[in-house]
């Protein structure tokens, strides 16, 4: 625990992942982030023209973060993020 009793730094959300894809003159931005220990969820949003066109969430249990640490959550984030990108690229015919 830290000096304020709020828990370790492991409870802090991880830095998000961001990628931009271009198709037919349009930019599609994919953003994935850990919503932290309270939410215990990873969220990926896809933006086009400033609007969210897709949003997906995947929950994880506190035990994942406690037992395997931040790296386990980071791996879940990477899988979800790049899975969404692969799905978009497949639909765009890349």
Report pLDDT digits (tens) over 17-71: 999 998 778 899 999 999 887 888 999 999 999 999 999 999 988 766 565 678 8
What six digits make up the tokens of 7? 């828990």
Report pLDDT digits (tens) over 43-57: 999 999 999 999 999
Torsion 49-54-89-57 (CA) sign: positive
pLDDT average, residue stretch 3-20: 64
Strands ordered across the beta sheet of 51-59: 17-23, 26-34, 41-48, 51-59
């Amino acid at each position: 625990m830290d000096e304020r009793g709020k828990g370790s730094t492991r409870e802090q959300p991880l830095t998000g992942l961001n990628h931009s894809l271009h198709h037919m003159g349009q930019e599609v931005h994919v953003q994935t982030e850990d919503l932290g220990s309270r939410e215990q969820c990873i969220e990926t949003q896809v933006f086009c023209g400033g609007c969210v066109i897709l949003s997906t969430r995947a929950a994880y249990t506190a035990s994942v973060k406690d037992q395997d640490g931040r790296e386990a959550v980071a791996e879940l984030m990477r899988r979800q993020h790049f899975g969404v990108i692969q799905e978009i690229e497949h639909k765009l015919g890349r």
